[in-house]
Amino acid sequence: MSIKIKRDTGVMGGATPVALKVNSQLVKKLKNNEEYSISSDEGKVKVKANQWFFGSEEKQIESGSRVNIKINNTALLLYVISLIIVFAGGFTSIIPLSLIGLIGIVITVIYSTKRWFKLEIESIAN
């Protein structure tokens, strides 16, 4: 059986390819809305997605599954809010506000190293 993986990251994640790793080995760089099939003799494989230093948690996927790679809206929201706070602090010359925003960006980047993408298992074929 095979596992079908589709990148569905939308506009925010569409700038550069996403590296698809299966069992810790790079197998394909996916463009937005691109689909890739993994054939596996084993019943399960470990799948992970990376883009620069952003990534996803590694998940174990069973044969016959369909997986969608999507942007984690929580990580994206944290990043946007942190950027707004930095810019607001810069425009208003409130240094503590800019500092809070920069700390928020650092926290978001650390959070996003394994949570920028979500691997959603859509269905399992029998």
Q: What is the pLDDT of residues 30-79, one digit of tens each?
A: 998 899 998 877 778 999 999 888 999 999 998 888 999 999 999 999 99
Residue 106 has pLDDT above 70, yes or no: yes
Residue 22 has pLDDT above 60, yes or no: yes
Residue 126 has pLDDT above 60, yes or no: no
Mean of per-residue pLDDT scores for the chain:
88
Rounded to whole angstroms, how far apart are CA atoms 57 and 41?
Answer: 23
Residue 27 has pLDDT above 70, yes or no: yes
3-state secondary structure 86-112: HHHHHHHCCHHHHHHHHHHHHHHHHHH
Inter-helix orientation angle 73-92/95-112, to 10°: 160
Residue 125 has pLDDT above 80, yes or no: no
